[in-house]
Amino acid sequence: MTAPFSMTIDTPDGSFGAYVAAPAGAGPFPAIVVIQEIYGVNVVMRGVADHFASLGYLAVCPDLFWRIEPGIDLTDQTDAGNKRAFELFGIFDVDKGVDDIAATLKAVRVDPRSNGKVGAVGYCLGGLLAYLTATRTDADAAVGYYGVSIDGRLEEAEKLAAPLMLHIAEEDEFVNKDAQARMIAGLGNHPHVTLHTYPGRSHAFARVGGAHYDAADAATANGRTDAFFEKALKA
Q: How high is the pLDDT of residue 27?
A: 85
**Number of other residues whose CB lies within 10 A of the CB of residue 170:** 14
Number of domains in the chain: 1
Q: What's the Cα-to-Cα distance from 71 to each of 14, 89, 93, 105, 174, rounded to whole Å? A: 15, 15, 17, 20, 26
What pLDDT is recorded for position 227?
98
- What distance in Å separates the CA atoms of residue 162 and residue 181, rounded to the nearest whole number? 23
- Going from the C-alpha of 120 to that of each of 69, 83, 114, 199, the distances in angstroms are 23, 27, 14, 25
Residues carrying an active site annotation? 172, 203
Are 131 and 155 in contact, with CB atoms under 8 Å apart?
A: no
pLDDT at position 2: 62
Q: pLDDT 10s per residue in the chain (235 long)?
A: 466 899 999 999 999 999 999 999 888 999 999 999 999 999 999 999 999 999 999 999 999 999 999 999 999 999 999 999 999 999 999 999 999 999 999 999 999 999 999 999 999 999 999 999 999 999 999 999 999 999 999 999 999 999 999 999 999 999 999 999 999 999 999 999 999 999 999 999 999 999 999 999 999 999 999 999 999 999 8
Does residue 1 fall inside a structural domain? no
User: Rounded to whole angstroms, how far apart are CA atoms 65 and 39?
Assistant: 9
The pLDDT, as a whole number, for residue 26 is 81
- What is the CB neighbour count within 10 angstroms for residue 226? 15
187 occurs within a structural domain:
yes
Identify whether 111 is part of a domain: yes
Contacts of 143 (CB under 8 A, 6+ apart): 119, 120, 121, 122, 130, 164, 165, 166, 167, 225, 228, 229
In Å, how far are 64, 70, 117, 132 from 93, measured between CA atoms? 10, 15, 27, 13
The model's pTM: 0.96
CB 231 within 8 A of CB 203: no
Half-sphere exposure of 133 (CA within 13 A, CB side): 35
In this prediction, residue 206 carries a pLDDT of 97
The CATH number covering residue 77 comes to 3.40.50.1820
Q: Do residues 180 and 150 touch, judged by C-beta distance below 8 A?
A: no
Supply the DSSP string of 135-154, one letter for each residue: HHS--SEEEEES-SSGGGGG
Report if residue 2 sits inside a domain. Answer: no
The reported pLDDT for the residue numbered 76 is 94
Instruction: Give the residue numbers spanning the domain of 102.
Output: 7-234
Q: How far is CA 124 from CA 48, 81, 117, 191, 231, in A?
A: 14, 16, 24, 24, 24
Contact 60, 49 (CB under 8 A): yes
- Nearest residue to 32 (alpha-carbon basis) of 6, 71, 61, 64: 61
**Closest Cα to residue 63, out of 46, 86, 79?**
46
Q: Do 75 and 37 touch, CB atoms closer than 8 A? A: no
- Picking from 78, 66, 10, 18, the residue whose alpha carbon sits closest to that of residue 45 is 18
Q: Domain for residue 219, yes or no?
A: yes
